[in-house]
Amino acid sequence: MLDPDDPSRGDMIRSGWRTMFGVFTVAAREPYEAIVNLAFENVNQVYKTKFGVVISQGAFTDLIVCLTEFSKNLKFQKKDSECPLSQKRSPEPSRKSSGGKSSSSSPRRPLANTSVEEGYWFPVLFAFHDVLMTGEDLEVRSNALEYFFDTLIKYGGGFPPEFWDILWRQQLYPIFMVSAFSP
């Protein structure tokens, strides 16, 4: 785990981010509050202080999956309000370069052959979609729906038509189909 007294150690992690997020994802599913809280504190610290490092190591999707699991934990779904994905904003990868510092340069891609939309926005939007479709708590699901559409409204104008087609088929259409058949 990360030592809060020595945040510089996170910069030395080269290939362990994905494994760490895998462990934190498992912890996020636990029914024990102390485990969930400790894991959440660590993930939140990484999000706030090492976002750029996580991106450069190709672990952004793993971070998003991990944060999603905290929101879906049946016993602690209310942690959703503390989750970075749920603070009325989405991560803005095009404005982050390294170490979480703002940059006006072009966005960095998590993987060489992925677009910014595929590498960043699809995982973020899928996280909201996943919580909406599989979460148990109505308030958390409603928040996920609100954040999903807020993100589309705020950032969707820059998405290419091909990406909108993917979003429609894989995320939007299933939401509307479930809504159409709900009592």
Higher-confidence residue of 17 and 114: namely 17
Q: Where along the chain do its domains lie?
A: 7-181
Query: CB of 121 within 8 A of CB of 162?
Result: no
Question: DSSP labels for 154-180?
Answer: HHGGGS-HHHHHHHIIIIIHHHHHHHH
pLDDT digits (tens, 9 = 90+) for 140-175: 889 999 999 999 999 999 999 999 999 999 999 998
Out of 32-36, 58-62, 110-114, pick the least confident.
110-114
Tell me the average pLDDT across 11-36. 88
Rounded CA-CA distance 31/162 in Å is 41
- What's the Cα-to-Cα distance from 147 to each of 50, 97, 104, rounded to whole Å? 23, 24, 25
Q: Is the pLDDT of residue 6 over 90?
A: no
